[in-house]
Structure 1
Amino acid sequence: MVEPLVLLPGLMCDARVWTTQLTVMSYERPVTVAPVCTGDRLEEIASGLLSSLPSKFALCGHGMGGCIALELARRAPDRVIRLALLGTNALMDTPQEAADREPRMIGAKAGRFEQLLEADLLPRYVGQGPRRAQAMTDLQEMALSLGPDIYARQERAMQRRRDQQATLRKITQPVLILAGAEDQVVPLKRQEFVAELIPYAKLSVLENTGHMTMLEEPEGVTEALFDWMRQPLVLR
């Protein structure tokens, strides 16, 4: 039986961020983009998703979507048959990281969301590769579509997320950790640490790519996901 694939977008993103993967991977399996804007806490979002997702599925999350994917794996390890984490920070915010979110949330809700995007968020989220300009445009369009209220709610949910190190150590499914070498949001060293904690994780790094790997290197992401989907379910 072909495994259904569930994709979870990250902060400020919707289904458009997965356009290439949806187009290519849906030729051979059901592919779904699940919503990540449906609650104030990651646990609430994960709980809502479990009632609507298939009984068993492959799960791929980016950024905030990766954090929700880990919560799904923690709650229902028997349903998540393989896991891919793209640009995902499995640790809770440090005090400084939590504090840094506050002015962004305040600015967004005070009517400065567009300025915040252009001056701070977009430059940090996208690397210096050849698709930088288009990736920034695509990300800006998605962020503006979602709006400042959803952005602030997502930032608050990320600020309150739990530390998932214990979850990582218990994962025995095939796991892909896919990182952009220039990721400023979740630095490569943080993602390498996540890979080290998972018994059977494979770490892949996309060069000249920042946090928005699906927009900056869509072919590389798709190829890595195809390889991950081909891994045998029994790894030991």
Structure 2
Amino acid sequence: MSTVGRILGTAGVVTGVLGAAAFGGVTAQRMAVRKYQAAQAALLIEPGADPGFEALESDRTYSVDTWDGVALHVEEVGPLDASLTVIFAHGWTLRLGSWHFQRLGLAGPGFGNQAEVDPSARKARRVAAPPTARLVFYDHRSHGKSTRAPEGHSTMDYLASDLRSVIDTAAPTGPVVLVGHSMGGMAIFTLAAQDPDLFAERIAGVGLVCTGATYLKPSELSKLLIAGGNPLVKVIKEVGSRYPAIFERGRSSNRDAVWMLTRSLGFSRKDVSGALVDYLDEMVSTTPVEVIAEFLPTLFAHDQTASVPALAGIPTMIVAGDQDRMTPLDRSERIAEVLPDAEMMVAEGSGHMTMMEDPDLTNEALRRLLQRASDGARAREGARGKKSRWSRTGR
């Protein structure tokens, strides 16, 4: 293995994506893939079954322009007059399609809950119609169908600014719920630090899926000394950015190695569908290597521990996989310690892609969050209405 290969190999789980893409063990990994597919067949799970990823229709599709010229791809599902707007921010190397099962499961009356009261019975009982959410999905800068960020603009501050641009465009008024997975959750914390007033006044709920206020443990952060320019991170970024063709060739010639690494880092359960792994692998593999490298420094340096209290008083749902190798469970537990009123649901046996690996649990957790956010927004609106009527009577 070359010196560059050894350097990349020591960088840990995250940068292992780059190392494996270029230096995978072809024969061993191919055998592992075939063994996995055989096990899938024994479980009567078709490895190549297509669950319809990328085939879901949108009610509206448009782009949001950021202040530095990046065009963010946005897709919406749900009525414009919905009681809540829910904005989903995906993770590193992914795109908005990673929310496939939430897009299916949370759309419609009652936030997608099929146990809706019959309309005629509801009218007879004078029960209010169940709330409906407008779901907004977008691709981060340099990901999916969004355009590439200028050099030096692949940072958490820019991601937070992008999220604010999406809020301003998609939901300039009304209550908003933010849901973030991994890097998307980090962007939410960063925006909370940038604009706490926005969270106090407009954000009706926050969903945090397999994310953390810090990417590495404090001791690890001190060792990396990112602020001083850690040479390891510099080498990884420079090699990935300056010589992307090397890694892209490695990806194509070591597909089985990359596929197995993707499965290991994204999922944990032995019976996870091969179709899910295929889709995750396709998302990661179509993210340019230089983009992966550009975001490494901001991921390593991420530390928004001080911004977590800004979510106090806002309905918050924390979803975590207890076998997450990318963002270990203790990251979520630390957030819950600071926000004792937050709810936390743990998907047993699930990995980093919990919203895909255990969509039922994730959707139930988010449905609970949306109901809390809806109730809170309705109560605040009622309080404002009472205050307005009181003022008009001159009392």
What's the offset of the Cα at 1:24? 2.6
CA distance in 1, matches of 2:346, 2:234: 31
**1: CA distance, partners of 2:236 / 2:365:** 33
2:90 maps to which residue? 9
Give the TM-score, by structure 1 length: 0.86
- Aligned mates of 2:182, 2:135 — CA distance in 1: 19
- Superposition map of 1:200-219 within 5 A: 200-219=341-360
Who is 1:41 aligned against?
155
Q: CA RMSD in A?
A: 2.6
1:88/1:218 CA distance change after superposition, 3 Å: same
Taking a change above 3 Å as real, the CA distance of residues 191 and 50 of structure 1, as seen in their structure-2 partners, is: same
**Out of 87, 91, 102, which is 1:21 matched to?**
102
Partner of 2:59: none
What amino acid is the match of 1:40? S
Give the distance between the partners of 2:355 and 2:85, measured in 1 at CA. 19
Contact 2:163 2:187 in 1 (8 A): no
Within-5 A mapping of 1:83-102: 83-91=206-214, 93=216, 94-95=220-221
Which residue of structure 2 aligns with residue 152 of structure 1? 293
Report the CA distance between 1:20 and its aligned residue.
1.4
Unaligned runs of 5+ in 1: none
One-letter amino acid matched to 1:30: R
* Unpaired segments ≥5 residues, structure 2: 1-81, 109-131, 142-148, 380-395
The residue identity in structure 1 corresponding to 2:177 is A
Paired-residue identity, % = 22
Name which of structure 1's ranges 210-219 and 174-183 shifts more when overlaid on structure 2. 210-219
User: Could you say which residue in structure 1 is the equivalent of 2:205?
Assistant: 82
Q: For the residues of structure 1 that align with 2:182 and 2:235, how far apart are their CA atoms?
A: 20
Confirm whether residue 178 of structure 1 aligns to residue 313 of structure 2: no
How far residue 199 of structure 1 moved from its aligned partner, in angstroms, is 3.7
Please say if residues 86 and 178 of structure 2, whose CA atoms lie closer than 8 Å, have aligned partners that are also in contact: yes
**C-alpha displacement at 1:104, in angstroms?**
5.7
CA spacing shift, 1:103–1:187, aligned 2, 3 Å: farther
Deviation for aligned residue 1:151: 1.5
How far did residue 25 of structure 1 move?
1.7
- Relative to structure 1, the CA distance from residue 103 to residue 208 in structure 2 (aligned partners, 3 Å threshold; closer, same or farther) is farther
Letter paired with 1:33: F
Distance 2:295 2:138 in 1: 15
State the alpha-carbon separation in 1 of the partners of residues 270 and 319 from structure 2: 17
TM-score, reference length from structure 2: 0.54
CA distance in 2, matches of 1:233, 1:72: 22
SS for the counterpart of 2:133 is: coil
- C-alpha deviations, 1:126-170, integer Å up to 9, x for none? 213421533322111111222212222222321232x22222123
The answer as to whether partners of 2:324 and 2:351 remain within 8 angstroms in 1 is yes
Match of 1:220 in 2: 361
Aligned length: 234
Cα 1:123–1:101, aligned 2, differ >3 Å: closer, same or farther?
Answer: farther
Alignment of 1:51-90 (within 5 A): 51-53=165-167, 54-55=171-172, 56-74=175-193, 75=195, 76-77=198-199, 78-90=201-213
| Corresponding residue SS for 1:4 | strand
Larger CA deviation: 129-138 vs 115-124 = 115-124
Q: CA deviation at 1:70?
A: 1.3
Q: Distance in 1 between matches of 2:212 and 2:233?
A: 15
Whether the 8 Å contact between 2:262 and 2:280 is mirrored in structure 1 is no
Q: Counterparts of 2:271 and 2:165 in 1: how far apart (Å)? A: 41
Q: Secondary structure at the residue paired with 1:65?
A: helix
Structure 2 SS opposite 1:233: helix
Contact 1:178 1:206 in 2 (8 A): yes
- 1:233, CA displacement in angstroms? 2.6
| 1:10 CA drift (Å) | 0.3
| C-alpha displacement of 1:79 | 2.5
Q: Which protein has the larger Cα radius of gyration, Structure 1 or Structure 2?
A: 2
Match of 1:128 among 260, 265, 269: 269
Q: Tell me which moved more, 78-87 or 150-159.
A: 150-159
C-alpha distance in 1, partners of 2:322/2:215?
22
Distance 1:41 1:31, change over 3 A: same
Deviations 1:58-115 (A, max 9, x none): 0000000010011223323122221011111212533367778667646654433535
| Aligned position for 1:50 | 164
- Given that 2:98 and 2:356 are in contact with CA atoms closer than 8 Å, whether structure 1 keeps it comes out as yes
Q: Which amino acid in structure 2 is aligned with residue 86 of structure 1?
A: V
Q: Which amino acid aligns with 1:112?
A: F
Any idea what the Cα deviations from partners look like across 1:178-235, whole Å, max 9, x if unmatched? 0001111111122111111114211110011100012211222111111111124389
Q: Which amino acid aligns with 1:80?
A: I
